[in-house]
Amino acid sequence: MKILHTADWHIGKKLHKHSLQPDFDLFIDWLCNCISENEVKVLLVSGDVFDLANPSSEARQQYFKALMKLKRLDCKIILTGGNHDSPTMLNAPQEVLRELDIHIIGGLPNELSECIVPIKNDKNETELLVAALPYLRDADLRTASQGNSYEARLEALRKGIQQTFLDIAEICKSQFPEVPTIAMGHLFAAGAETSESERDIQIGNQAAFNALQFGDYYNYIALGHIHKPQRVNAATPTFYSGSPIPLSFSERSHKNRILLLDTETGWEPKSIEIPSFRELLKITGTLEKLQQKLLELQDREGLASLIEIELQEENFDSNKIYELDQLVDNFKVEGYEIVKHRASFENKISGSGKLYEEKQQLEDLQPLDVFQKLVDKQEEDEETRKELMSAFNEILEEVHQSKKA
């Protein structure tokens, strides 16, 4: 049996207000061809199906169109919710989609056994199990008796994740003895390499889970949340498939991929590289160098390449900022679009005492970074600082999940 592992679709994602909808459509078309060519029987999507908890109507329409395209291939589809997803929104069409052999587990159900999806062969025998665990929220993992101190809460989260994976392994073992099992998860594993587009989960990624604690029951663990494809150090083959398309400029050098498992040959996946549908370019340098690099761009077809520009000068000069704005406004090369620009200066303005590091835009500011600077200025002990950051992370997560507008 052949199984494909992907994750972090982030349908509805915008990169500096530029929609990535056409990128995802091209990925789905490519994915359908890949499934057909490799005779894949099961598709796993390990969380963050959408980019927002309350996705736009366009994003929802794109989601259902993608599912219908994939369903025509006679492939069982299993999707789990991630930290970007709303469990309620994902689960809403759950019963209808199940009739189409599309299984959705948006959030952790009351009965853990509901996360287990048996995969049957042509003889109607259970050949494989998928323990489809979604993103485990703090409320799923902590109890009032587990303490309120910062370190106690971190430890409770780690133990909660571990226990959930161990518990579902025991259910699989008792109900389907000696049947191979794949686990799905959406979490931050210790040592994983992140990028700037991943929203912190479980107290700002500080509750990093040691993947060795998954145990040795599972044959393969299909992870989501980290956008860079990578293997995780664990007792069994454990991988992040990564996102199918770059979701930030920090991911522009990633080799996006999906992972193909063939149970007849073992549990080490084959990496299949996804073609690049759009180029992301970051151009830095002095004003003269920026002008030169932009002049060297050649017209191209297909999806427009998106450009991020950073002016880097030694001494502050307001005229340079104005000239940068003019350069961006007047830029017109077929197949390219500048979506962000900024300026940074190494030295202070004479007599002002202020260091101008960059020309910041509102979209550059991250709430967590701003709050961290505020906390750093307070005369509090380390434990209180940690508690403040922990509380703020919880508030952030609640805001992300409760946006309904």
Q: What is the DSSP track for 130-186?
A: EEE-----HHHH--GGG-SSHHHHHHHHHHHHHHHHHHHHHHHHHHSTT--EEEEEE
pLDDT tens-digit readout, 176-201: 999 999 999 999 887 677 666 666 65
Both structure tokens of 70: 């994939």
For residue 204, give Cα distances in angstroms to 127, 209, 372. Answer: 38, 12, 12
Rounded CA separation 59/298 (Å)? 32
CA distances from 130 to 63, 107, 170, 346, 404 (A): 22, 16, 13, 54, 32
Q: 5, 241 in Cβ contact below 8 A?
A: yes
* Residues of the chain under the 50 pLDDT cut: 144-145, 203, 349-356
| pLDDT for 394 | 76
Q: Where are the domains of the chain?
A: 2-273, 280-364, 367-402
**pLDDT tens figures, 364-403:** 667 777 777 777 766 677 777 777 887 888 787 777 766 6
Is 0.75 surpassed by the pTM of this model?
yes
> CB-hemisphere CA count at 13 Å for 379?
0
How much is the pLDDT for 352?
40
CATH topology of domain 2-273: Purple Acid Phosphatase; chain A, domain 2 (3.60.21)
pLDDT given for residue 25 in this prediction: 97
Tell me which residue has tokens 């485990």. 136
For residue 130, the cross-strand partners are 117, 182
